Amino acid sequence: MRQWARRGTRPRQPADQRYESVYLFGAICPAKGKGAALALPHADTEAMQLHLDEISRSVARDAHAVLLLDRAGWHTTGHLAVAKNIPLIFLPSRAPELNPVENVWQYLRANWLSNRVFQTYEEIIEAACQAWRNLIAQPEAITSIGQRDWATGLMSVKTEGRWYNGALPDLHGRPEPFGVYEGPDPLHI
């Protein structure tokens, strides 16, 4: 853990040996500075399904939100009922730098969630929810944090009735097609 302090001093930090957690499932749209999230007690398939449902409700009518996901087990399970307005794109394994939401988690910890001790589980939930509300109140921060150079040039191209959604760089920097989508024009949240 890093903390600013005068050279030669040993700053104190709160510490707690209890381990209760809240999992914040969140998604952002850097183009519009919006997001949707749920604070849940577990990170599993059921929680992911609730998150997908929340995102689907947040997407404008007749629009689509392309959702970038890492390959966590609850993201890749075949037991998810994915709404038609949320095409999923799985990022390459072991490449968190490609996932914009990883920077969101760092931002939340750095600004509102680090160096704190909570007395109750409800305080943990409230802190996570308040941190998300603080972020959502700053659309320009969402855009700044979530923007990726490789993603800003993504274009959708329709060929023979299918949408090809741009390309992701592979481990060698070469473009690698990442998704085929059949349906109406893909739009952002």
The predicted pLDDT at position 61 comes to: 84
Of the candidates 189, 154, 186, the residue with the CA atom closest to the CA atom of residue 168: 154
Residue 2: per-residue pLDDT: 64
Q: Give residue 133's region: left, alpha or beta (phi > 0; psi -120 to 50).
A: alpha
CA 51/CA 47 separation, integer angstroms: 6
Alpha carbon of residue 152 to chain centroid:
17
Task: Output the tens digit of pLDDT for each of the chain's 189 residues.
Answer: 566 778 888 887 776 667 788 999 999 998 889 999 999 999 999 999 999 999 999 988 888 888 989 999 999 999 999 998 888 989 888 888 888 899 999 999 999 998 888 889 999 999 999 999 999 999 999 999 988 766 654 544 443 444 444 444 444 444 444 443 344 443 332
Class of domain 23-153: alpha beta
pLDDT score for 114: 87
Task: Read off the amino acid at residue 79.
Answer: H
Evaluate whether 156 touches 165 at the Cβ level (below 8 Å): yes
The Cα–Cα gap between 125 and 131 comes to: 10
Rounded CA separation 133/140 (Å)? 14
- At residue 24, the pLDDT reads 94
What would the two tokens of residue 27 be?
A: 């998604």
pLDDT at residue number 1:
57
55, containing H or E segment: helix 45-58
- What integer pLDDT is reported at residue 152 of this predicted model? 54
Which residue, among 71, 64, 62, has the nearest Cα to 86 in the 3D structure? 64
| Residue 125 backbone zone (phi > 0: left; psi -120 to 50: alpha; other: beta) | alpha
Predicted confidence at residue 39, as pLDDT, reads 93
